[in-house]
Homo-oligomer: A and B are copies of this chain.
Amino acid sequence: MQFRSDNTGPAHPKVLEAILAANAGYTAPYGDETAMEAVRARLREIFEAPEAAVYLVATGTAANALLLSTMTQPWQRVFCGTLSHVLIDECGAVEHATGGARLEPVAGPDAKIGIAEFEAALAAVDPADIHMTQRGPVTITQVTERGTLYTLDEIRAIANLAHAHGSGVHMDGARFANALVALGCTPAEMTWKAGVDAVSFGATKNGCLGVEAAILFNPAKAREFELRRKRAAHLFSKHRYLSAQMAAYLQDDLWLDLARQSNAAGQGLARGLRQIPGVTLDYDPAANMLFPRWPRVAHRRLLDAGAAYYPWGDVATGPDDEAVPTRLVCDWSADEGATTRFLDTLRATAA
């Protein structure tokens, strides 16, 4: 009954096998290994972007911060969601990487940046006013931090607004694969065809040990990205273990299969939760993350029964029947039996 996060579960065996295989013999360091060429070619193919600049780093925060720093001047604003990882969970990594640019939270429905809200945020900046921080890029998270999805139309609308104001568009795709299989579109459709300029293509949460691709569809700033990556200490000497992970992840659509598994687990969990009296869902779960609420007493029973997740609030004290929210995440390795036990325990408490 593991629902804490998709970073607490194991990596997929095929990814580990690839690391073992990559270990044989000597190879060029710092991304100059042959395997990286294949990874680059494969990602360009997947994204239908033969010119794209493609790099690997080991953390999602690195991908986000390095890409955004390549798109932002220090005196600019990075428009982001009010619940976005870059704003809430990266301890100022974007500010650090950009030399002090400002994150500008933009509200909206369903944990997304709203189109109207974004338009207003752009309009609030007067480029002629030297006293203001200026317009910089917008970053959207797909899947969002509340498990919802931007539609392709929404991405396009945000990107159009951004481009009309000289701003770039970054996608934090920590759960890119989950979004893709949920939307049922192509990587190109979800990104550059909708106006996205750069993507953090996550793999760590979806079955790898620690690897993310940073992709710039326009390679004009490729060298700048490389220098920023090195300077930020994110260029690996034994880079082969990053490219091996990514190669295995992309091989035979493993990445899509794993995302389908975790999404299916999430959707199954959602279906079950919806049938239990006293349980509500804060957002409509589109992929593998859920934000339900149920009575305090049920939290205690679940935790006592060995369920692993983080209640958002004190479950030890307070009225038994008060609803306490939580986040549940299903990773690729989610166990159907565990889900059943979890739902059973919750149902029993509700009864």
Cα of A66 to Cα of B64 in the assembled complex, Å: 19
**Cβ distance A239 to chain B, nearest Cβ, rounded Å:** 9
Contact, CB under 8 Å: A231 / B19: no
Contact, CB under 8 Å: B88 / A74: no
Cα of A64 to Cα of B5 in the assembled complex, Å: 31
Which size bracket describes the interface of A in this complex? Answer: 35 or more
Contact, CB under 8 Å: A7 / B237: yes
Contact, CB under 8 Å: B89 / A100: no
**Cβ distance A60 to chain B, nearest Cβ, rounded Å:** 8
Contact, CB under 8 Å: A62 / B233: yes
Contact, CB under 8 Å: B236 / A210: yes
Chain A interface SS verdict (over half): loop
Mask of A50-82 contacts with B, CB within 8 angstroms, 1/0: 000000011111101110000001110000000
A248 on the B face (CB < 8 A) = no
A185 on the B face (CB < 8 A) = no
Q: Which of B2, B19, B59 contacts A16 (CB 8 A)?
A: B19
Q: Which of B28, B62, B100 contacts A100 (CB 8 A)?
A: B100
**Cβ distance A89 to chain B, nearest Cβ, rounded Å:** 4
Question: Which of chain B's residues have a CB closer than 8 A to the CB of A27?
Answer: 8
Cα of A4 to Cα of B237 in the assembled complex, Å: 12
Q: Which of B19, B100, B205, B230 contacts A19 (CB 8 A)?
A: B19
Question: Which of chain B's residues have a CB closer than 8 A to the CB of A11?
Answer: 23, 238, 241
Question: Which of chain B's residues have a CB closer than 8 A to the CB of A57?
Answer: 233
Greatest chain B CB density within 10 A among A10, A88, A95 is at A95
Question: Which of chain B's residues have a CB closer than 8 A to the CB of A97?
Answer: 233
**Cβ distance A208 to chain B, nearest Cβ, rounded Å:** 8
Question: Which of chain B's residues have a CB closer than 8 A to the CB of A64?
Answer: 233
> Which chain B residue lies CB-closest to A62?
B233
**Cβ distance A44 to chain B, nearest Cβ, rounded Å:** 21
Greatest chain B CB density within 10 A among A16, A24, A75 is at A75
Contact, CB under 8 Å: A210 / B230: no
Contact, CB under 8 Å: A29 / B8: yes
A204 on the B face (CB < 8 A) = yes
A123 on the B face (CB < 8 A) = no
> Which chain B residue lies CB-closest to A128?
B223
> Which chain B residue lies CB-closest to A205?
B237
A134 on the B face (CB < 8 A) = yes
Mask of A1-29 contacts with B, CB within 8 angstroms, 1/0: 01011011111000010011001111111
A-B contact pairs, 13 of them (CB 8 A): A2-B26, A9-B26, A10-B23, A10-B24, A10-B25, A10-B26, A20-B20, A61-B230, A73-B224, A75-B230, A91-B134, A93-B233, A100-B100
In addition to A58-B210, A91-B227, 10 A-B residue pairs with Cβ atoms within 8 Å of each other are: A64-B233, A74-B96, A90-B233, A92-B231, A95-B95, A96-B99, A131-B230, A204-B237, A209-B238, A210-B241
Q: Which 4 A-B pairs have the closest CB atoms?
A: A95-B100, A62-B233, A7-B237, A61-B233
